[in-house]
Structure 1
Amino acid sequence: MSEPPVPTLPRSSAPGFLIASPRLDGSPFERAIVAMVHHDQEGAMGFIVNKPLEIDFGSLIQSVNEDIARRLTPESFEMPVYFGGPVRIEQLWVIYQRLEGIDADQAERRRHLRRMRQGDEGELTFMEGWYLAASGEIIEGFAQGLQPGRYRPFIGYAGWGPGQLEEEIEEGSWLMLDFAPHSFFHPRPGAQWEESLAELGVDPAAFLMMARSGSA
Structure 2
Amino acid sequence: MEQPTLTGRLLVATPMLSEPEFRRSVVFVIDDDDTEGTLGVIVNRPSELLVDDVLGDWSGYATDPAVMFAGGPVGTGSGLALGMPGTDDAPLGWRPLSNLDEDATVPRLGLIDLDTPPEILGGALGRFRVFAGYTGWSEGQLDAEIEEGAWYVLPALAEDVFSPTPDSLWSRVLRRQGGDLALVSTFPDDPTLN
**Shorter-normalised TM range:** 0.7 to 0.9
Structure 1 gaps, min length 5: 1-7, 63-70
SS in 1 for 2:54: helix
SS in 1 for 2:125: coil
SS in 2 for 1:53: strand
Q: What CA distance in whole angstroms lies between the structure 1 residues aligned with 2:162 and 2:152?
A: 19
Q: What CA distance in whole angstroms lies between the structure 2 residues aligned with 1:154 and 1:46?
A: 10
SS in 1 for 2:173: helix
Q: CA deviation digits over 1:32-61, x for unaligned, max 9?
A: 001111112120011110000010111112
Structure 2 gaps, min length 5: 101-106
Task: Report how far residue 15 of structure 1 moved.
Answer: 1.2
> What root-mean-square deviation, in Å, do the aligned CA atoms of Structure 1 and Structure 2 show?
3.1
SS in 1 for 2:169: helix
Q: What CA distance in whole angstroms lies between the structure 2 residues aligned with 1:16 and 1:178?
A: 5
- Within a 5 Å distance, the mapping from 1:24-173 to structure 2 comes to 24-42=17-35, 43-62=37-56, 74=60, 76=62, 79-100=66-87, 114=92, 123=95, 125-126=97-98, 127=100, 128-133=107-112, 135-138=113-116, 141=118, 145-173=122-150
Q: What CA distance in whole angstroms lies between the structure 1 residues aligned with 2:8 and 2:111?
A: 12
Task: Report how far residue 195 of structure 1 moved.
Answer: 1.3
Identity across matched positions, percent: 26
**TM-score of the pair, normalised by structure 1:** 0.70
What's 2:13 paired with?
20
Between structure 1 and structure 2, the one with the greater Rg is 1
C-alpha contact (below 8 Å) 1:17/1:178 kept by paired residues: yes
CA 92–174 in structure 1, closer or farther in 2 if over 3 Å, else same: same
Which amino acid counterpart does residue 78 of structure 2 have in structure 1?
Q
Task: Report how far residue 148 of structure 1 moved.
Answer: 2.6
Which amino acid counterpart does residue 59 of structure 1 have in structure 2?
D
SS in 2 for 1:156: strand
Task: Report how far residue 147 of structure 1 moved.
Answer: 4.3
Which amino acid counterpart does residue 204 of structure 1 have in structure 2?
V
SS in 2 for 1:24: coil
Q: What CA distance in whole angstroms lies between the structure 1 residues aligned with 2:168 and 2:77?
A: 27
Q: What CA distance in whole angstroms lies between the structure 2 residues aligned with 1:47 and 1:34?
A: 5
Q: What CA distance in whole angstroms lies between the structure 2 residues aligned with 1:161 and 1:144?
A: 32
Partner residue of 2:173 out of 166, 172, 196: 196
Query: How many pairs were matched up?
Result: 179
* Structure with more helix by fraction: 1
CA 148–75 in structure 1, closer or farther in 2 if over 3 Å, else same: closer
SS in 2 for 1:22: coil
